[in-house]
Amino acid sequence: MTPRIKSANLATVKHMGRDFVLYQIQDNELDMLTGGYNSIHLGLGGVVFGAFVTVAITWIARDSPSTKETVIYFCSTILFGLASLYFGLMAAKDYSNARKIVDSIKGSSKPIL
């Protein structure tokens, strides 16, 4: 009976070295990562909040809307209000996570003198 695995069929493992590239960064440059804060949730929150205000003002400014229009405006106002609240909370969470990452980088870095 011949063995199923022969030395010619075995894989050869070759260890590849890693190259590390270090960049010098100043504290103020690191703070700029969150200073000019941009998040998709922040953008969407602004758009949805604008829609919320528009629908709410339109609903209030109507002279005598029908029952169907009232239900549509009410549901739209609630929907846009909840969506703007959600996107606002997610933007705050994104900002908090970005701040934690920057603080972690600062805490684990040692200044070069």
Please report whether residue 1 resides in a domain: no
Please report whether residue 113 resides in a domain: no
Residue range(s) defining the domain that contains residue 51: 7-108
Taking only the tens place, the pLDDT of each residue in 14-57 is 777 777 777 677 777 777 777 666 778 889 999 999 999 999 99
Please report whether residue 35 resides in a domain: yes
Half-sphere exposure of 91 (CA within 13 A, CB side): 18
Question: DSSP letter at 36?
Answer: T
Cα distance between residue 97 and residue 62, in whole Å: 43
Please report whether residue 32 resides in a domain: yes
Please report whether residue 71 resides in a domain: yes
Please report whether residue 93 resides in a domain: yes
Q: Encoding tokens for residue 57? A: 């003002």
Total domains in the fold of the chain: 1
Output the pTM of the full model: 0.66
